[in-house]
Amino acid sequence: MTEIVTTNIKSLPLVYRGKVRDSYAVGDDKLLIIATDRISAFDVILGDPIPKKGKILTALTDFWFKQLDGIVPNHLTGIDPTTVVAPDEVDQVKGRAVVAKRLKPILVECVARGYLAGSGWKEYQENGTVCGIKLPAGLKQSQKLPEPIFTPAAKAEAGHHDENVTFEQVCKLVGDDIAHKIRDYTLALYKKAADYAATKGIIISDTKFEFGLDENGTVILMDEILTPDSSRFWPADQYKVGQSEPSFDKQFVRDWLETQPWNKKAPAPKIPQDVLDKTSEKYEEALIRLTGKGVE
Ligand SMILES: Nc1ncnc2c1ncn2[C@@H]1O[C@H](COP(=O)(O)OP(=O)(O)O)[C@@H](O)[C@H]1O
Ligand SMILES: [Mg+2]
């Protein structure tokens, strides 16, 4: 399999290169969104690709859109990506792209948390809250919360960290009506996905959704959903309260980078192939556990 770090689609106008995806305009109302094999760690895009990553993320997102159908409309058009590019560009999109409705992004990262980890654990230790939500005293790291909570973040400019905000701030940013919708959708999607994943031995600690508005102002689910890049997936059989959990994601790369003399600014050091391969295996293991199959 050939890895793709940067796509080069000449037949369509480039709209945006993100940390992982390259998006091209298809007409004026659709986007071809291609998941590359890029990986970012500590908000820096690394120079080395993770084998199969773009295809794994695409297969997993596709699976979840079907699994969670009925909660909120999503951005998929059903158009086959291989039909919107030139014949010699088909290899760049096969198995790793979607043709989506082009939406106006709502600039809130919609995070649902069922457990206390990451920035949530950090804020809880300092204030007993997560995004302003008061939690019971005495909770431990990685502990399951009494109820999943909505912990939004304001989407930052490239290269900056997203900033956790309160629900009241979201209401001010996007208006009460949209704020309530994205909160309710986020929690409903998370609960259904977490219940399903639990039957496959995976705990979804937390996850992030993105929504956009279509031309009628309808809220639509977009981007990737419930992948190791947008979520914390924990193997249920290793779960213990009071520790930092191992996860199905960039842990190998992050751990290796932590051993390097690196200031966490681009360019990142060259990553050894075995670290890249191990990371790929972890991503694919999550895909296989959840969907029953891997990628070619
Ligand atoms: N249907 C859509 N319409 C408009 N923008 C979208 C849509 N789906 C996803 N996006 C945006 O496309 C980008 C996907 O590329 P990605 O590499 O994830 O970028 P980022 O580095 O911003 O996370 C994201 O910025 C996401 O908000
Ligand atoms: Mg993204």
Ligand nearest to the CA of 212: 1
- The answer as to whether 191 is a domain residue is yes
212 lines ligand 1 (CB under 6 A): yes
Q: Which CATH number belongs to the domain containing residue 27 in this structure?
A: 3.30.200.20
**Residues 18, 88: one domain?**
yes
**Residues 132, 54: one domain?**
no
User: Which of 190, 158, 177, 178 lies closest to 108, judged by CA?
Assistant: 178
100 lines ligand 1 (CB under 6 A): yes
100 CA closest ligand 1 atom index: 1
Mutate which of 16, 17, 231 for ligand 1 pocket (most atoms within 8 A of beta carbon): 16
**Residues 70, 123: one domain?**
no
- The answer as to whether 79 is a domain residue is yes
Q: List C-alpha distances in Å: 34 to 18, 69, 158.
A: 10, 22, 19
**Residues 10, 133: one domain?**
no
**Euclidean distance between CA atoms 96 and 35, whole angstroms:** 5
**Euclidean distance between CA atoms 61 and 278, whole angstroms:** 21
Q: Which CATH number belongs to the domain containing residue 209 in this structure?
A: 3.30.470.20
- The answer as to whether 153 is a domain residue is yes
In this prediction the pTM is: 0.97
**Euclidean distance between CA atoms 90 and 2, whole angstroms:** 13
Least confident of 138-147, 209-218, 221-230, 242-251: 242-251
**Residues 116, 173: one domain?**
yes
**Residues 70, 91: one domain?**
yes
20 CA closest ligand 1 atom index: 17
Q: What's the mean per-residue pLDDT of the chain? A: 96
35 CA closest ligand 1 atom index: 17
pLDDT of residue 267: 95
**Residues 54, 144: one domain?**
no
pLDDT of residue 161: 78
Predicted confidence (pLDDT) at residue 123 exceeds the cutoff of 70: yes
Predicted confidence (pLDDT) at residue 276 exceeds the cutoff of 90: yes
Helix residue ranges per DSSP H, the chain: 53-67, 90-93, 118-127, 167-174, 176-198, 251-258, 273-291
53 lines ligand 1 (CB under 6 A): no
Q: Average pLDDT, stretch 123-137?
A: 96
Q: Average pLDDT, stretch 246-265?
A: 93
**Residues 233, 111: one domain?**
yes
User: Which of 171, 133, 134 lies closest to 154, judged by CA?
Assistant: 171
Q: Cβ neighbours of residue 126 under 8 Å, at least 6 residues apart?
A: none
At 7-22, the pLDDT tens digits run 999 999 999 999 999 9
Q: What is the pLDDT confidence band of residue 160, given thresholds at 50, 70 and 90?
A: confident
- The answer as to whether 78 is a domain residue is yes
Helix axes 53-67, 176-198, angle to 10 degrees: 100
253 C-alpha to ligand 1 centroid (Å): 23
At 177-212, the pLDDT tens digits run 999 999 999 999 999 999 999 999 999 999 999 999
- The answer as to whether 293 is a domain residue is no
pLDDT of residue 1: 67
User: Counting beta carbons within 10 angstroms of the beta carbon of residue 188, is it exposed (0 to 12), middle (13 to 18) or buried (19 or more)?
Assistant: middle
**Residues 36, 8: one domain?**
yes
Given 215, 238, 261, which residue is the final one in a domain?
238
**How many residues comprise the chain?**
296
Given 210, 238, 266, which residue is the final one in a domain?
238
176 C-alpha to ligand 1 centroid (Å): 24
Range of the domain at 167: 104-238
Ligand nearest to the CA of 19: 1
**Residues 115, 184: one domain?**
yes
User: Counting beta carbons within 10 angstroms of the beta carbon of residue 94, is it exposed (0 to 12), middle (13 to 18) or buried (19 or more)?
Assistant: middle
190 C-alpha to ligand 1 centroid (Å): 20
**Bridge partners (DSSP) listed for residue 104:** 213
pLDDT of residue 43: 87
Given 222, 238, 254, which residue is the final one in a domain?
238
**Residues 181, 121: one domain?**
yes
- The answer as to whether 89 is a domain residue is yes
Q: How many domains does the chain have?
A: 2
Backbone angles phi, psi at 149, to 5 degrees: -125, 155
For residues 219 and 206, the answer to whether their CB atoms sit within 8 Å is no
**Residues 98, 113: one domain?**
no
- The answer as to whether 58 is a domain residue is yes
- The answer as to whether 243 is a domain residue is no
pLDDT of residue 251: 87
Angle subtended at Cα 59 by Cα 54 and Cα 65, rounded to the nearest 5 degrees: 125
DSSP β-ladder status, 163-164 and 153-154: antiparallel
pLDDT of residue 159: 66
For residues 206 and 112, the answer to whether their CB atoms sit within 8 Å is yes
User: Counting beta carbons within 10 angstroms of the beta carbon of residue 64, is it exposed (0 to 12), middle (13 to 18) or buried (19 or more)?
Assistant: buried
101 lines ligand 1 (CB under 6 A): yes
pLDDT of residue 172: 97
At 62-95, the pLDDT tens digits run 999 999 999 999 999 999 999 999 999 999 999 9
